[in-house]
Structure 1
Amino acid sequence: MLEYSLIFIALLALLSIVFEEITHVNKAKTTLFFGCISWILLFIAAEPSQHELINHSLEENLLEIAVLWLFLMSTMTFVAYLNSKGIIQMAVQRLFPAKSSVTIIMFLVALFSLLLSAICDNITATLVSLTLLQSFNIDIKTKLRMAILVVFSVNSGGVALITGDVTTLMIYLDGHLQISQLFLLLLPALISVLFLAAIFSIGLKGEVTTTPANRDYESVDLMIAVIFFSTILCTMLFNVIFAIPPVLTFLTGLSIMFLVGQMYRSDKQESQMLEYIRQIEFDTLLFFLGILLLVGMLKEVGILQVVTQIYSQFDPMYSNYVAGIGSALLDNVPLTAALLKAEPVLSSAQWLGLTYAVGVGGSLLVIGSAAGIIAMSKIKEMTFMSYCRYIPALLVAYTIGYGLTILLSNYFYH
């Protein structure tokens, strides 16, 4: 009975996101409420002897959330500061033409997001790519399509490198795939992203111009930009070579940013600099907290174990495809962890299929990936319902990418 009640609460949380436009109740507040209530019910319904075990599970869940929060806060602070100074817009104007057709810009945005997410984490890639969109003078319809394309491209680019996606790193560290094998996923990811860009370009006409960058920056702002990109590079290198958690490297970069600001600015300017942290949309962090509390609850009551049991009953080629779709509802990290714990016997080709599926499948729903959640909180035109209108196109793109992954992996690693 408890399990059904908790699943019902999770469905209520989902509905609160879906009907936010109607109820006008902030989705961050509703998901946080339902996430907290679900854990409280777990404690109330449990036997006294189980309280310690549930408390341990809650602490583990909160630790995972805290790591993500700190990482997200660090990244968003850098991006918010550089964006306010016009540094990112200036870089965009160097990379993108000042004036071009919507179609060309659509493809350039897709490639930019894909490549950026392959070399750095999804959160950073999403924030920078969305900042890029804000510099374009485009209508609401075009902005929405580009934002959805960013979500799909970011998730696609991350699957081919262990620096780009947590699930890819998990499968690699478990010894199922080599880095050279993962490179094979770049081609399916690229083709599926270009296909989606082509679909989204249909019916769009006109030209896109970039907003002139605000040139009100100082030498210290350029130094902070260098610190930001150096932090991204060090995050990748330190994680691969020394297994240092990305959050630790990014917090170190953030501390250097503040130290540099302290040396080059007055106390008043330093206070303004610190104010950028408070300007970060707190709703984004609350939304993450609520969603991850709910996912942790589903993991605690055994829903993920049920998914794993269903997975093992079918051909891995089909199970992997469905697991990818399932990752749009259940966070792909605990889902992948549950599948790895089940120790399925898969060939290299099947592991590649699973890697692509759980990495990209979350794009099918706006709440299915970190990139989607960030985009929904940053782009006001993107809601659960507006995103759902593009599910058919996203599903076709995902299917094409997965199909190409299976064909190529079977050809090379059969």
Structure 2
Amino acid sequence: MSMTALLLVIFVIGYLAITLEHPLKLDKAVPALLMGTLMWALLSIGFNFSWFDIINYQGEVFSLSDGFNEEQAYGFKKNLMHHFSKIGEILFFLIGAMTIVEIIDLHRGFSIIKKVIKPKSKQRLLWILGILAFILSAIIDNLTATIILITLLRKILAKHQYRVWYAAMIIIAANAGGAWSPIGDVTTTMLWIGGKVTALKLSEYLIVPSLICFVVPFLIAGYLKPFRGKAIRKELIADEEAQRILSSKKMLWTGLGAIAFVPIFKAITGLPPYLGMMFSLGVVWLVSEYVKPEKDLPRTQKHVYSTHKALSKIEFSSILFFLGILLAVGVLESVVWGNINGTEVGALRYAAESISQTIPNMDIVVLLLGALSALIDNVPMVAASMGMYTYEVDHPVWHFIAYSAGTGGSLLVIGSAAGVAAMGMEKIDFVWYLKKITWLALVGFLAGAAVFILIEKFFYT
């Protein structure tokens, strides 16, 4: 057990380094990659020396305790190949989605959305930004929606002291909007690609709880002082059309349509979502090559709008962070930890069974996972739960995990990718968010959860 404990120690140290990214001034991709690769290295050495047995996703156990056996050794490699192929599906899906969004941005497609945001009342401005965040995050993802809306907010509101309130509320709306869509959040994408939920059922189960999670905090916030009265707006740039280019509208609708087409592609072909996203990227790339951004664009300036530039703007450190995290979780899923009812199980399954025995109510377990995802990144939380539980596709537990992990991140400013992005862009203080916003996010989170449990009990039993 001592060598198995070493795997856990590497995981905990790696995890701490990820959460302490800012004090350490170290990109979280670094500890994630080191953690993931070191854990697989230790697992491989331990397996070859018969310190560990491993278990694959079908529950087959492989061991070299009786001496070297080619079939058993290949079982280890096959298990690694399985985990890497599952991780690859998520990463290529994300790369495709991020590239399409960057192509839209290069063609200034999002400037069209800015035209919608014109009210002078602070309360109306709050609702317009919230509704846009909720809808956009379901189509393009919560992180991207947050970045776009805060960029627009900075062009509209003059005073930083008011902007931080709007930015914080955008986080709540974007996380709620991302939770009910298979492409709205990394965690829902993981559950969808991992075959735990279907796109249609996820949306059907979660759209009402997510809407409640967004609407309740916004109704309360409307009565708070920062959202009353008239907005002190920046003068909008006189010639708004000058900011747009000929291809803005075409690329906005092509890009959003292509991303929204991915679940339809999966429904028609039965192929995994990452292939649909690659097809959509191909279509958007093709259109971007032939669309005219400006009337007489010189050949030397064509690179400004090229997809190669969009690819260079993708944050690949985030992709590598997910790779490291998911590799580490794959080890915890693979290493045999103990027996449950006489059957050998991996570390995550063992942990799940232990938690379920301590807290018999699964709804409370999932709510706690959601609250924890505000402290611990929700990507590994969901990745771990996917290895911990063996419920069938579209079981209510998977939908509740999607809701809790997606919206629970709003409880702290560092609890979600959207929150971290807003924190960086608007210099939102951690303690300020904790005092002023956390209670609003918590009310919404619990209200949505209560609605989910009611719907599950009365409509889906």
Q: TM-score range by the shorter chain?
A: 0.7 to 0.9
Q: Deviations for 1:175-201, whole angstroms, at most 9, x for unmatched residues?
A: xx984x963643332222123345667
Conservation of the 8 A alpha-carbon contact between 2:97 and 2:259: no
Q: Residue in 2 aligned with 1:45?
A: 46
Name the aligned partner's letter for residue 394 of structure 1: A
1:300 equivalenced with 2:334 (yes/no): yes
Q: Residue in 2 aligned with 1:132?
A: 149
Q: Residue in 1 aligned with 2:59?
A: none
Name the aligned partner's letter for residue 334 of structure 1: A
CA distance in 2: counterparts of 1:395 and 1:83, whole angstroms: 33
Q: Compute the displacement of 1:403 (Å).
A: 1.7
Q: Residue in 2 aligned with 1:278?
A: 312
What TM-score comes out, normalization by structure 2 length? 0.71
Q: Residue in 2 aligned with 1:321?
A: 367
Name the aligned partner's letter for residue 316 of structure 1: M
Q: Residue in 2 aligned with 1:107?
A: 127
SS at match of 2:120: strand
Cα distance, 1:162–1:128 mapped onto 2, change above 3 Å? closer
Q: Residue in 2 aligned with 1:59?
A: 81
Q: Deviations for 1:81-101, whole angstroms, at most 9, x for unmatched residues?
A: 3223322022232x222x534
Among 315, 318, 337, the residue aligned to 2:386: 337
SS at match of 2:226: coil
CA distance in 2: counterparts of 1:230 and 1:31, whole angstroms: 34
Conservation of the 8 A alpha-carbon contact between 2:103 and 2:310: yes
Q: Deviations for 1:17-37, whole angstroms, at most 9, x for unmatched residues?
A: 333332222222232222222
Cα distance, 1:386–1:209 mapped onto 2, change above 3 Å? same
CA distance in 1: counterparts of 2:36 and 2:165, whole angstroms: 30
Among 102, 107, 112, the residue aligned to 1:85: 107
Cα distance, 1:253–1:219 mapped onto 2, change above 3 Å? farther
Name the aligned partner's letter for residue 12 of structure 1: I
Conservation of the 8 A alpha-carbon contact between 1:182 and 1:352: no
Q: Residue in 1 aligned with 2:445?
A: 398
Cα distance, 1:410–1:69 mapped onto 2, change above 3 Å? closer
Q: Compute the displacement of 1:163 (Å).
A: 6.3
Q: Residue in 1 aligned with 2:217?
A: 196
1:310 equivalenced with 2:335 (yes/no): no
Q: Compute the displacement of 1:277 (Å).
A: 1.1
| Overall identity of the aligned pairs, in % | 24
Name the aligned partner's letter for residue 147 of structure 2: L
Q: Residue in 2 aligned with 1:255?
A: 282
CA distance in 2: counterparts of 1:182 and 1:283, whole angstroms: 30
Conservation of the 8 A alpha-carbon contact between 2:109 and 2:251: no
Q: Deviations for 1:86-138, whole angstroms, at most 9, x for unmatched residues?
A: 22022232x222x53444333333322223344x363xx43134212112125
Name the aligned partner's letter for residue 135 of structure 2: L
Greater alpha carbon shift after TM alignment, 227-236 vs 315-324: 315-324
Conservation of the 8 A alpha-carbon contact between 2:366 and 2:401: yes
1:153 equivalenced with 2:200 (yes/no): no
Q: Residue in 1 aligned with 2:35?
A: 34
CA distance in 2: counterparts of 1:185 and 1:65, whole angstroms: 25
Q: Compute the displacement of 1:363 (Å).
A: 4.6
Of Structure 1 and Structure 2, the greater helix share is in: 1
Conservation of the 8 A alpha-carbon contact between 2:382 and 2:401: no
Q: Residue in 1 aligned with 2:98?
A: 76
Q: Compute the displacement of 1:341 (Å).
A: 1.5
Cα distance, 1:296–1:153 mapped onto 2, change above 3 Å? farther
Greater alpha carbon shift after TM alignment, 332-341 vs 305-314: 332-341
CA distance in 2: counterparts of 1:63 and 1:383, whole angstroms: 39
CA distance in 2: counterparts of 1:277 and 1:171, whole angstroms: 30
SS at match of 2:242: coil
CA distance in 2: counterparts of 1:140 and 1:34, whole angstroms: 39
CA distance in 2: counterparts of 1:284 and 1:116, whole angstroms: 21
1:410 equivalenced with 2:457 (yes/no): yes
What TM-score comes out, normalization by structure 1 length? 0.78
Name the aligned partner's letter for residue 190 of structure 1: L
Q: Residue in 1 aligned with 2:68?
A: none
Name the aligned partner's letter for residue 36 of structure 2: G
CA RMSD of aligned residues (A): 4.0
Cα distance, 1:130–1:51 mapped onto 2, change above 3 Å? farther
CA distance in 2: counterparts of 1:34 and 1:28, whole angstroms: 10
SS at match of 1:204: helix
Among 403, 407, 422, the residue aligned to 1:356: 403
Name the aligned partner's letter for residue 399 of structure 1: L
Cα distance, 1:197–1:243 mapped onto 2, change above 3 Å? farther
1:238 equivalenced with 2:238 (yes/no): no
Greater alpha carbon shift after TM alignment, 160-169 vs 55-64: 160-169
Among 207, 219, 237, the residue aligned to 1:186: 207
* Higher gyration radius (CA): 2
SS at match of 1:341: coil
Q: Compute the displacement of 1:305 (Å).
A: 0.7
